[in-house]
Amino acid sequence: MEGKKTKIKIRKGYNNDLDGIYNCHLKCFDKGDLWYKSIIQQSMDRCYVVEKVDDGQIIGVLLQGSTVPCEEADKENFKQITPTGDIIVKNNLHMDYLEGILMVCVDPEFRNKGLAKMLIEIHFNENKNELIHLTTRKSNKAYNLYLRMGYEHVATIKNKYFFPTEDGYFLIKNN
């Protein structure tokens, strides 16, 4: 198979893609980051997929939507959020609804080919002139991609993730 180039297409995701999206996400995340199908389905209205043309396999996913970046639980535990600049505190961003990336993933077999970047660019195009965000694990290898694409790391959220327990990085971009 070496040397054979896989043809792909990026398209809007539909409800009948749920199983393919779920299977792609299972390949991409550790057990502590897995979502229920019902949660994924709630974000399908603003979903994009990367699909292999030959067999229709979904190899990449972008879910986007409006969320409270640091979640309700952090209202009482604000000390868990460590701002790296005062933008988050001055503007109370941790508690505002912002447009953002809920999930972006690419099947490990197809990584380092620019697919995540293409999906994120779709997100940028759909959210022009918006302040957008994402939250990621401290260990996520895509963190440097996010920075190269213009996101700014504005806060660290202590113990945001479980299995394994790990801090989260809260990033914003003035798009």
* % pLDDT > 90, the chain: 53
- Give the per-residue pLDDT at 71: 53
* % pLDDT > 70, the chain: 80
With vertex at residue 46, the alpha carbon angle to CA 152 and CA 20, rounded to the nearest 5 degrees, is 105
Residue 167 and residue 159 in contact, taking contact as beta carbons nearer than 8 Å = yes
How far is residue 74 CA from its own chain's centroid?
Answer: 20
What pTM was computed for the model? 0.84
Q: Where are the domains of the chain?
A: 8-174
95 has pLDDT over 70: no
Has domain 8-174 been given CATH number 2.60.120.10?
A: no
Beta bridge partners of 136: 169
- Give the per-residue pLDDT at 115: 97
Q: What is the pLDDT of residues 124-171, one digit of tens each?
A: 999 999 889 898 999 999 999 999 999 998 878 778 887 888 888 888
